[in-house]
C-alpha cells in the first residue's frame, strides 16, 4: 500500500512557467485536497474534491486549477507561476466522513524565481 | 466559519520536560478534533483525535481532551524525548464545513538532550 504519492519532491520554476503537481492515492478515498504550507500560516486549503468529477475551491484557489477524472488522481496545475507561489504543497486524502484521519503525501517544495 | 487558534512557538524543551501546546477552536455544530505531527522533511501524520465532547485521544504518550465548554483541545505529554522534535498542528473537521480540515498555524517543538 503506497498511500498518497506526490511528485515531484522538488521543483524550481521561472516566473510565468506552468507545471502540474501530481497526486495519486490507492486507498479508494473519496475526498482529496491540496494544501500549501507557509511559515507561520499553517496549512491553507487550495482546492478539494469530494469524488471523481467534483471539485471546489478552498481558501486560496487563485492561480491554481484542479481536475478529478478518476478516484485515484488529483493533479494540481499552476497556470502561470509567480514568486508568491513559492511554498511547500501537500496532497491529502481521506474517506468521506468527518471523523477519519487524512493521509498526506510527502510534499512538493516549489520555488518560483 | 471554522477556525483553529494554536499556541505560537517555537517551543524549546529539555528531554523529560512536560509539554503543553494550547489549541482552541471556533466551529458550528459538533466538530471532530485532531492533532497532526510533521517530522522534518515529511508530510503530516495523525497523532491523535477525539470525535465528541469529553473524549480523550492518546498516542505515543501524548494526550488531548475535547473540552466543549472551553472549546479547547490542548496537547500534553508528560516526558518528552528528542524524537518528539517536530511541528504539531491542531485541526478540526465538521459536516457543516463540508468535511474540510481546518488547521492551526502549527507549533514547532525542539527537544534538547
Secondary structure element (H or E) that encloses residue A10, with its range? strand A10-13
C-alpha to C-alpha distance for B110 and A32, rounded to whole angstroms:
31
Share of chain A above pLDDT 90, in %: 88
pLDDT at A99: 79
pLDDT given for residue B38 in this prediction: 95
Is some CB atom of chain A closer than 8 A to the CB atom of B104?
yes
For the stretch B67-84, pLDDT in tens is 999 999 999 999 999 999
CA dihedral A63, A64, A65, A68 (to 10 degrees): -170
Query: CB-based contacts of A39: which residues, under 8 Å, 6+ apart?
Result: none
3-state class of B73 per DSSP? coil
| Predicted local confidence at residue B28, as pLDDT | 82
Q: What is the mean pLDDT of chain A?
A: 94
Q: Is B51 on the interface with A (CB under 8 A)?
A: yes
By C-alpha distance, the chain A residue nearest B9 is A40
Tell me, what's the pLDDT at A1?
A: 62
pLDDT value of position B87: 95
In the predicted structure, residue A96 carries a pLDDT above the cut 90: no
C-beta atoms of B32 and A33 within 8 A = no
Decide if B45 touches A, using CB distance below 8 A: yes
Q: What is the rounded distance in angstroms from the CA atom of residue A41 to the CA atom of residue B102?
A: 12
| Chain A CB within 8 Å of residue B103 CB | yes
Nearest to A102 among B4, B98, B101 (CB): B101
Amino acid at each position: 500500500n503506497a498511500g498518497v504519492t506526490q511528485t515531484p519532491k522538488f521543483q524550481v520554476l521561472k516566473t510565468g512557467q506552468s507545471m502540474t503537481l501530481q497526486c495519486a492515492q490507492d486507498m479508494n478515498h473519496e475526498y482529496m485536497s491540496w494544501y500549501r504550507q507557509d511559515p507561520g500560516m499553517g496549512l491553507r486549503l487550495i482546492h478539494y474534491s469530494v469524488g471523481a468529477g467534483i471539485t471546489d475551491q478552498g481558501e486560496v484557489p487563485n492561480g491554481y486549477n484542479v481536475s478529478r477524472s478518476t478516484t485515484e488522481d488529483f493533479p494540481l496545475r499552476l497556470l502561470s507561476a509567480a514568486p508568491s507561489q513559492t511554498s511547500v504543497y501537500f496532497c491529502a486524502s481521506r474517506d468521506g466522513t468527518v471523523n477519519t484521519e487524512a493521509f498526506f503525501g510527502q510534499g512538493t517544495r516549489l520555488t518560483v524565481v | 466559519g471554522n477556525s483553529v487558534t494554536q499556541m505560537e512557538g517555537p517551543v524549546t524543551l529539555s528531554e523529560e520536560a512536560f509539554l503543553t501546546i494550547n489549541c482552541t477552536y471556533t466551529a458550528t455544530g459538533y466538530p471532530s478534533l485532531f492533532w497532526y505531527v510533521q517530522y522534518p522533511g515529511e508530510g503530516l501524520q495523525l497523532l491523535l483525535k477525539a470525535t465528541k465532547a469529553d473524549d480523550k485521544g492518546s498516542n505515543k504518550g501524548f494526550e488531548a481532551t475535547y473540552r466543549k465548554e472551553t472549546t479547547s483541545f490542548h496537547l500534553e505529554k508528560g516526558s518528552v524525548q528528542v524524537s518528539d522534535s517536530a511541528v504539531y498542528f491542531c485541526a478540526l473537521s465538521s459536516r457543516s464545513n463540508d468535511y474540510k480540515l481546518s488547521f492551526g498555524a502549527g507549533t514547532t517543538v525542539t527537544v534538547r538532550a
